[in-house]
Amino acid sequence: MDNVKIGQFIYKLRKENNLTQLQLAQKIGVSDKAVSKWERGLGCPDVSLLPELSCIFGVDLETILSGEPEENEKSGGNMKRIKFYVCPVCGNLITAAADAAVSCCGKKLSPVQPQKAGDNEKLQVEIIENEFYITTSHPMEREHYIPFVALVTGDTLLLRRLYPEWDMQVRLPMLPRCRLLWYCTQHGLFYQERIQIPTK
């Protein structure tokens, strides 16, 4: 750990949050001299104080300990590069337009990597009343099911959350030249390339 780097980062975060050393010290139950010491690189906050600092500054623990934020390159907002994060503990689903530092249930999550669906894995897609009607014979049991189906284009994400013991039947508005993605709790994230809307 680099005390100087961490101290400079705490100083920067404190200023961004419009806090004096005394105000920050009072929030976490230490003296303002302790905060001053950290910011000058002469020591580090006790490990027990890190969760509180993380909460006050809205920055994860790893970022505080590294002493610098990890910034993403600007993605231009192309939704086709969307990242899906799925918590293995509670099943929470989080999406981000670019790589992000995401955690849930105390675990740091990595984006789930999509894999191209084989012919026997693909979902069936029909067009009914100007909507995609999506079905599959995939199991929908508590231990093995599809928790979400999504349609993605360059600027749009449509996502439908599903639950075990429901039939896997989804209707979503038709989007031109979209990618269909879905997640299986046992086998991961799959995609089918471009669903074409037939022209009349």
Does 27 share its domain with 105? no
Q: Which domain holds residue 62?
A: 3-66
Does 157 share its domain with 100? yes
Mean pLDDT of 128-147: 92
Q: How many CB atoms lie within 10 A of CB 170?
A: 23
pTM: 0.65
Q: How far apart are CA 191 and CA 157, in angstroms?
A: 14
Residue 147, Cα to own-chain centre: how many angstroms?
16
Q: How many CA atoms lie within 13 A of 9 on its CB side?
A: 23
Q: What is the pLDDT of residues 49-104, one digit of tens each?
A: 888 888 888 887 778 888 877 654 544 556 778 899 999 889 899 999 888 888 88
Does 38 share its domain with 91? no
Which CATH number fits the domain that encloses residue 169?
2.60.40.730
N- to C-terminal Cα separation, the chain: 64
73 falls within a domain: no
Does 61 share its domain with 88? no
Q: What is the pLDDT of residues 94-113, one digit of tens each?
A: 999 888 888 888 788 999 99
